[in-house]
A and B are shown apart, each in its own frame.
Chain A
Amino acid sequence: MIKDLPVVPSAKAGSMAAAPAGAAWREQHPVIGTACNQCLECTLFCPEGALVQTGGNMTVMLSLCNGCGICAVECRLQAIAMVREYTGVSGVFPLREEKV
Chain B
Amino acid sequence: MSVMLLTGSEAAAYAAKLARIEVLSYYPITPAFPAMERISKFIEDGELNTEFVRVECDHSALAAALGAALAGSRTFTVSNSQGLLYMTEVMYHVAGLRQPIVMAVANRALSAPHSRFPEHGDAISQDASGWIQLFCENNQEILDTTLQAFKIAETCRLPVMVNYEGYIQSHTQEEVDVPEQKAVDALIPFNRIAALDVNNPQGINTVTGPEFYMDYKYHQNEAMEGALKVIPQVAREFAQVFGRDWQGLVEGYRMEDARHAVVAMGSLVSDARIVVDALRNEGRQVGLVKIRSFRPFPAAALRSMLSAVDMVTVLDKNIIFGAGGALGNDTKAALYGYRSLPVKSYICGLGGRSVGTREIRQMIDLAENRVEQRRDYEWFGL
User: Which residues of A come within 8 Å of B, CB atoms?
Assistant: 2-3, 5, 7-16, 23-25, 27, 85-86, 93, 95-100
Measured CB to CB, the closest approach of chain A to B210, in angstroms, equals: 7
Cα separation A97 to B229 with both chains bound (whole Å): 10
Cα separation A85 to B212 with both chains bound (whole Å): 12
Chain A minimum-CB-distance residue to B222:
A98
Cβ 8 A contact of A100, one of B70, B201, B203, B230: B230
Measured CB to CB, the closest approach of chain B to A20, in angstroms, equals: 12
Given A24-B211, A24-B212, A5 and B219 touching (CB < 8 A)? yes
List, in ascending order, chain A residues with CB within 8 A of B219's CB. Answer: 2, 5, 7
Cα separation A3 to B210 with both chains bound (whole Å): 12
Of the listed residues A7, A85, A93, A99, the one surrounded by the most CB atoms of chain B closer than 10 A to its CB is A7
Of the listed residues B96, B98, B211, the one surrounded by the most CB atoms of chain A closer than 10 A to its CB is B211
Contact count band on B: 20 to 34
Cβ 8 A contact of A97, one of B208, B212, B226: B226
List, in ascending order, chain B residues with CB within 8 A of A7's CB. Answer: 98, 157, 193, 219
Cα separation A24 to B211 with both chains bound (whole Å): 5
Given A8-B195, A9-B96, A15-B206, A2 and B218 touching (CB < 8 A)? yes
List, in ascending order, chain B residues with CB within 8 A of A2's CB. Answer: 215, 218-219
Given A3-B215, A5-B219, A100 and B155 touching (CB < 8 A)? yes
Cα separation A24 to B208 with both chains bound (whole Å): 7
Cα separation A23 to B156 with both chains bound (whole Å): 30
List, in ascending order, chain A residues with CB within 8 A of B205's CB. Answer: 9-10
Cα separation A3 to B209 with both chains bound (whole Å): 13
List, in ascending order, chain A residues with CB within 8 A of B156's CB. Answer: 98, 100
- CB pair B211–A10 under 8 Å, yes or no, is no
B207 part of interface (Cβ distance < 8 Å): yes
- CB pair A8–B204 under 8 Å, yes or no, is yes
B43 part of interface (Cβ distance < 8 Å): no
Cβ 8 A contact of A8, one of B70, B155, B208, B222: B70
B97 part of interface (Cβ distance < 8 Å): yes
Cα separation A19 to B50 with both chains bound (whole Å): 42
List, in ascending order, chain B residues with CB within 8 A of A11's CB. Answer: 202-203, 206
Chain A minimum-CB-distance residue to B96:
A9
Cα separation A100 to B96 with both chains bound (whole Å): 17
List, in ascending order, chain A residues with CB within 8 A of B209's CB. Answer: 24-25
Chain A minimum-CB-distance residue to B204:
A10
B219-242, CB under 8 A of A: which get 1 and which 0? 100110110011000000000000
- CB pair B212–A13 under 8 Å, yes or no, is no
B336 part of interface (Cβ distance < 8 Å): no
List, in ascending order, chain B residues with CB within 8 A of A15's CB. Answer: 203, 206
List, in ascending order, chain B residues with CB within 8 A of A23's CB. Answer: 211
8 A-B pairs whose Cβ atoms sit less than 8 Å apart in the complex: A3-B212, A5-B216, A12-B202, A13-B203, A16-B206, A93-B218, A95-B222, A100-B229
B278-312, CB under 8 A of A: which get 1 and which 0? 00000000000000000000000000000000000
Cα separation A93 to B210 with both chains bound (whole Å): 17
List, in ascending order, chain B residues with CB within 8 A of A99's CB. Answer: 226
- CB pair A25–B96 under 8 Å, yes or no, is no
List, in ascending order, chain A residues with CB within 8 A of B99's CB. Answer: 8
Given contacts A8-B99, A10-B202, 16 further A-B contacts (CB under 8 A): A3-B212, A5-B215, A7-B98, A8-B97, A8-B195, A8-B204, A9-B208, A11-B202, A12-B203, A13-B203, A14-B203, A15-B203, A15-B206, A25-B209, A25-B211, A99-B226
Cα separation A39 to B223 with both chains bound (whole Å): 54
Cβ 8 A contact of B204, one of A9, A16, A25, A27: A9
Cα separation A99 to B70 with both chains bound (whole Å): 21
Cα separation A86 to B213 with both chains bound (whole Å): 13
Of the listed residues A2, A5, A8, the one surrounded by the most CB atoms of chain B closer than 10 A to its CB is A8
Chain B minimum-CB-distance residue to A85:
B211
Measured CB to CB, the closest approach of chain A to B204, in angstroms, equals: 5
Within 8 A of A (CB), among B79-135: 96-99
Cα separation A14 to B155 with both chains bound (whole Å): 31
